Structure 1
Amino acid sequence: MKILVTGGTGYIGSHTTLALLEAGYEVVVLDNLCNSSEAALHAVEAICAKSALLIRGDVCDRALLDRIFQEHAIDAVLHFAGLKAVGESVRKPLEYYQANVCGSITLCQAMAAAGVFRLVFSSSATVYGAPEHMPIREDFPTGTPTNPYGQSKLIIENVLHDLCAAQPRWSVALLRYFNPVGAHASGLMGEDPRGIPNNLVPYISQVAVGSLNELSIFGDDYPTVDGTGVRDYIHVVDLADGHLKALQTISGGSGINVWNLGTGDGYSVRQVVHAFEQASGRPVPYRVEPRRAGDIAECWADPSKAEQELGWTATRNLQEMMADTWRWQSSHPKGYLE
């Protein structure tokens, strides 16, 4: 089978591209490289001695998509392409709706024209908003995301629900991630954010490696184990494996399916900092700042539906996540520029 991976040079996309190649798939990657590096695919090839074909371009470019589907016998699409910084989405909402929503619609139009109806979509647990209970199950109602990034994911989910209802030929997986962290165990691939990291673990790792002075912890008065926010952190390699399982599952069916990809365990910010200090052997200085608007106290998944229907579970623990992150960051202090 030949798979089109949009956004395949990004953090999750590149790890999933590796997993696909290792599983024997052919892979075509479409990426405009606006927030990622072609070097990620060089790392993929170094690890598995197989390569993906990289096509530089934008998922909003319908003519390019049509040409890709004409020139390659694509069997299914894994769709990661999009913008993902929450804070930036508040400042630049039109750019986020254009890239994420319009890009997804354009992709689906090109897929339908080419007769390709299998799609795995990279969604997010942000679509649940602020649930009243934990852990979060897939049958929980979607909420009201507090930023354009989260809103864009929810809009795309709704579009795909409507599409599958109107056209039963479609077979779609909505994968709602929790908090992807970690890196490939080789140390050759990892998360390489542009500028100041938006997420906790890459921020911690850049403090440990000396690129940033200290970590800011936003709020220590939540009703949690130590007052700091609790989240469900999932190793990016486990997450990539979840995409393979979803792809295999939808290949023989139709309609739309929703699966949480998380571990089912929640860890506080301070617990993550401590685990990283143990893995790296370095202190991570931090200061406590006021809570950020829109942050919730705790959030973790009930992953049992994915286990039952996909045969998938996350297997890597917090210590492995931090050790793999440090192996990547310590050997690539400036990311793929090293």
Structure 2
Amino acid sequence: MKNILLTGGAGYIGSHTFIELFQCGFRPIIYDNFSNSKIEVINRLSQICNSEIEYIKGDIRDQNQLEASIRDYNCEAIIHFAGLKAVGESVSNPDLYYSNNLTGTVCLLNAINNTGVTKLVFSSSATVYGKPIYLPIDEKHPLSATNPYGRTKLFIEEMLRDYANAFPKLKIAILRYFNPAGAHESGLIGEDPLGIPNNLMPYVSQVAAGLRTHVNVWGNDYETHDGTGVRDFIHVTDLAKGHIKALNKLDDLTSIAVNLGTGKGYSVMDIIKTFQEAAGTEIPYQFKDRRNGDVASCYANPSFANKIIGWKAERNLFEMCKDHWNWQKNNPNGY
């Protein structure tokens, strides 16, 4: 059994990945400061896995605690989820993002180097591609960033490539997520945003639950099939499974970067209409002017992930909406 440390493992994607690791026979250990997640996640994971959950309350900027945790649990690999992720907040508080995301990753890399860990999977983002030059986006697309959050992901990727060159025994998988959605089929864990949701799916689900009056649709005059913005949404469980595939493939590869997306573009109106079907309720919406910086379409070419790590998304948009609604209706106030 391989012991895996999950930094930020109590978060939305981290908690779903914990379940997949556990079910595949790994021993995942959560390392989280719970600044952007809830301790209740631990109880929910315990119910799903029918097991006591091992976790450490710690900050990734605490290198000494990281090293002690890796040694105490004899961790063979690390999946690095820990990081702040709100674009708007990163614009108003860039210092917070550079401190937490960049400094934290430097501390983690030093801890990895000092403890001899040889495998790292990094939670990156499609934001590293910036404004799409062509579609669908493959891994050869030029890298750029349009906000501090995206820049932290891009800078971390560069750091990881430098570390991989300097320390050949360290094998790294960089996973570039597109738009995670949905929730675990149990309805016990899901996305629990703080305050007003930054992402479309949780906002739509809160409107469906009557917690918000309507969805603002920012622009209906884009060159898309219905005029509204198109994005690549991927079920969080499919995303979680991608981490297992990448981790296992590091036995054979050195360092890789792959897209995790469906390769399909869903518009804002596609999301609203499909969620209405899944929830069995009307979702009011209002068209608004375009927002600065938004692009018409952004979706992945995921064929490289299929070729290199043997992964592809399996769940469709209706399943994403159904599972997200199951989480929302059972947890109207989150955790």
Q: TM-score, normalized by length of structure 1?
A: 0.97
* Paired AA for residue 111 in structure 2: A
CA RMSD of aligned residues (A): 0.9
- Contact preservation (8 Å) 1:21, 1:50: no
1:203 is matched with which residue? 203
- Contact preservation (8 Å) 1:178, 1:301: yes
* Paired AA for residue 306 in structure 1: A
Show the 5 A alignment for 1:17-166: 17-143=18-144, 145-166=145-166
- CA offset at residue 130 of structure 1? 1.2
2:310 is matched with which residue? 311
1:246 is matched with which residue? 246
- CA offset at residue 80 of structure 1? 0.2
Q: Give the match's secondary structure for 2:245.
A: helix
Q: Give the match's secondary structure for 1:335.
A: coil
- CA offset at residue 302 of structure 1? 0.6
Bigger shift: residues 132-141 or 199-208: 132-141
* Paired AA for residue 18 in structure 1: I
* Paired AA for residue 107 in structure 2: T
- Contact preservation (8 Å) 2:5, 2:70: no
| 1:290 partnered with 2:286 | no
- CA offset at residue 161 of structure 1? 0.9
4+ runs of 1 displaced by more than 3 Å? none
1:183 is matched with which residue? 183
Q: Give the match's secondary structure for 1:296.
A: coil
- C-alpha separation between the residues in 2 aligned to 1:209 and 1:84? 25
Q: Give the match's secondary structure for 1:20.
A: helix
Q: Give the match's secondary structure for 1:234.
A: strand
1:299 is matched with which residue? 298
- CA offset at residue 333 of structure 1? 0.4
- C-alpha separation between the residues in 2 aligned to 1:132 and 1:164? 28
State the Cα deviation string for residues 111-155 of structure 1 (Å, max 9, x = none): 110001210000000100112211111111112x11100010000
* Paired AA for residue 177 in structure 1: Y
- C-alpha separation between the residues in 1 aligned to 2:101 and 2:52? 27
State the Cα deviation string for residues 58-114 of structure 1 (Å, max 9, x = none): 001111112112212000000000100011110100000111111111101001100
| 1:327 partnered with 2:326 | yes
Q: Give the match's secondary structure for 2:28.
A: strand
- C-alpha separation between the residues in 2 aligned to 1:329 and 1:101? 33
- C-alpha separation between the residues in 1 aligned to 2:106 and 2:51? 31
- C-alpha separation between the residues in 1 aligned to 2:59 and 2:48? 27
- Contact preservation (8 Å) 1:4, 1:77: yes
* Paired AA for residue 291 in structure 2: R
Q: Give the match's secondary structure for 1:180.
A: strand
* Paired AA for residue 316 in structure 2: N
- CA offset at residue 252 of structure 1? 3.7
- Contact preservation (8 Å) 1:21, 1:51: no
- CA offset at residue 47 of structure 1? 1.3
Unaligned 5+ runs, structure 2: none
Q: Give the match's secondary structure for 1:330.
A: helix
- CA offset at residue 214 of structure 1? 1.2
- CA offset at residue 287 of structure 1? 1.4
Aligned-residue sequence identity (percent) comes to 50
Q: TM-score, normalized by length of structure 2?
A: 0.98
Aligned length: 334
Show the 5 A alignment for 1:271-286: 271-286=270-285
1:169 is matched with which residue? 169
- C-alpha separation between the residues in 2 aligned to 1:129 and 1:250? 27
- Contact preservation (8 Å) 1:192, 1:335: yes
Show the 5 A alignment for 1:207-286: 207-254=207-254, 256-286=255-285
